[in-house]
Copies of this chain bind each other. A is one copy, B any other.
Amino acid sequence: MISVNLAVAAAAAANDTWAASDGATRAKLLEGLAAVLEGAREALVPLADRETSLGPVRLNGELDRTAFQLRAFAKAVDAAFAFVDDPAVPGAPPAGHPHLRRVRVPLGPVAMFAASNFPFAFSVLGGDTASALAAGCPVVVKAHPGHPALSRATAELASGVVASLGLPAGVFGLVEGGIDEGVALVKHPDIAAVAFTGSVKGGLALNAVAQARPRPIPFFGELGSINPIVALPSALAAKGAELAATLAGSITLGCGQFCTSPGVVIVFDGAQPFVDTLAKALSEAKPHAMLTPGMRANFDAGVARVAGTAGVTTRLASPAGDGSNAAPRPFLAETDAATFVANAALHDEVFGPACLVVRARSTDEAVQVLRATGGSLTVTLWGAEDGSADARRLVRAAQQVAGRVLFAGVPTGVAVCAAQQHGGPFPSSTAPATTSVGLAALDRFLRPVALQDAPAWLLS
């Protein structure tokens, strides 16, 4: 764990300087990071493609988004310095009180666990790194072993920017390794918070380590999500074929390796033409290879779990692979609401191009299905425009289980803006009051402090 200790020591040494840096300095670093990413596009994208199989179109788009995100935080950096001021009120309490100013202070060095499925946007210089740096926290990235060469190349560029701006090297660091290194990083006493994107299993294990420290620290884990879509009859009547085609594209996008990939579609009576069109579109889709052989094996196991559940009918089979990461065939199955609600095995995300159609006989049943999913990054409601009593019930239920509720389109594709929320109730996030995408992501790395009767020098 020498490299973990060295990286965290460098981050701790840089902490006071970076925490005290002004907005202009932070913006300059973030803009510099965006610029080097774009400048190295011709080298980075082929490297990323070799390691992830995600293809140049997607990877170029993702690099654009990552640079956009870094610049968005550069523009939003002043939010870290916002404060609430309560002038002194003379007189006895409770009405009378001293001067109080509520500021926010950076938490300290952040351990960032890169995701496999977004080698740019949720990896070395992704949203977690950008938002932590904007908040004034040094970052130690744990590289994802799925794209080690890309991680090293990106980190080298980042360190170059840090050095060129005369900042302490420990503002940004990279460590590599497996579970042991990850655990050592989370346990390190100088780490103040953890940002994680990955599986429920890995996230819960690391969160347990974070909470078992002598001093527990915040763990911002974005874990699994099943992303239900509710297709109301009015929407399918109006444009069922178009929605089926869009949905098939969303299910197979990136070979289904999106945290917002739609895994469940709730339909009502009369939806069979829509389901048939969806099945046809999926049968014709040509997904690319998966990220790793392990991902493919997990996908096959998830498909077998769903297909093997009594009461589930397979519409499109997805035969198990050969041990490689070769592209799977999309999987589609159908069941009824009662079977879905009763079988916990159907509530877990199948990471990859898989979707389960759930037939509901009533709004009541649809609400029960939504509740059974637990927590999800997104719920999509097609056909809620009329504001009927049923639509209102479904919207309330959707808001109770999701961090984002969509009324059109598909959940894949997450805008980076102030109003975004990426993180819903457990298991989709371990910290559903926070977001890992969008400008509010920097709030995670700041802690409020009230300054009482502070001297003038501190308030200026």
Is residue A105 contacting chain B, with contact meaning CB distance below 8 A?
yes
CA distance A266 to B451 in the complex (A): 19
A405 to B417: give the CA distance in the assembly, Å.
33
Of B64, B404, B448, which is within 8 A of A421 by CB?
A: B448
In the complex, which of the residues B61, B430, B450 contacts A420, with contact meaning CB atoms closer than 8 Å? B450
A425 interface contact, C-beta 8 A: yes
Interchain CB contact under 8 A, B399 and A100: no
Cβ of A65 within 8 Å of any chain B Cβ, yes or no, is yes
Q: How far is the CB of A458 from chain B (nearest CB, A)?
A: 6
| Binding stretch for chain B, among A159-167, A174-182, A210-218 | A210-218
Interface residue from B93, B374, B395, B443 paired with A415 (Cβ < 8 Å): B93
Instruction: Please indicate the chain B residues that have their CB under 8 angstroms from the CB of A421 in the complex.
Output: 102, 448-450
Number of A interface residues, CB 8 Å? 75
How often does this chain occur in the complex, in copies? 2
Bound Cα distance from A427 to B84, whole angstroms: 25
In the complex, what distance in Å separates the CA atom of A406 from the CA atom of B451? 6
**A97 CB-CB contact with B under 8 Å:** yes
Q: Does A86 contact B (CB under 8 A)?
A: yes
Q: Among the listed B94, B375, B403, which residue makes an inter-chain contact with A448, where contact means beta carbons less than 8 Å apart?
A: B403
Contact A97 B452 (CB under 8 A): no
Q: Is the CB of B426 within 8 A of A97?
A: no
A20 and B399 CA atoms in complex are apart in Å by 12
Q: How far is the CB of A123 from chain B (nearest CB, A)?
A: 16
Residue contact B93 to A452, C-beta cutoff 8 Å? no
| B102–A449 CB distance below 8 A | no
Cβ–Cβ < 8 Å partners of A98 in chain B: 408-409, 415
Residue of B nearest to A384 (CB): B455
Known A61-B93, A65-B94, A447-B433: A417·B100 in contact at CB below 8 Å: yes
Assuming A101-B419, A421-B102, A451-B407, is B413 touching A93 (CB within 8 A)? yes
User: Which of chain A's residues 67-105 have a Cβ closer than 8 Å to chain B?
Assistant: 68-69, 83-86, 93-95, 97-98, 100-102, 105
Choose one: B84, B420, B433; the contact of A100 (CB below 8 Å): B420
* Cross-interface CB contact of A385 among B402, B447, B449, B455, cutoff 8 Å: B455
Task: Tell me whether B374 and A404 are in contact (CB under 8 A).
Answer: no
Give the CA-CA distance A395 to B374 in the complex, in Å. 44
Known: A105-B399, A384-B455. 5 other contacts (CB 8 A): A68-B94, A97-B416, A407-B452, A425-B447, A440-B448
20 A-B residue pairings within 8 Å (CB atoms): A65-B93, A85-B419, A86-B415, A86-B418, A86-B419, A86-B420, A93-B413, A98-B409, A215-B425, A217-B426, A399-B449, A403-B450, A404-B450, A404-B451, A404-B452, A405-B449, A406-B453, A407-B452, A407-B454, A421-B449
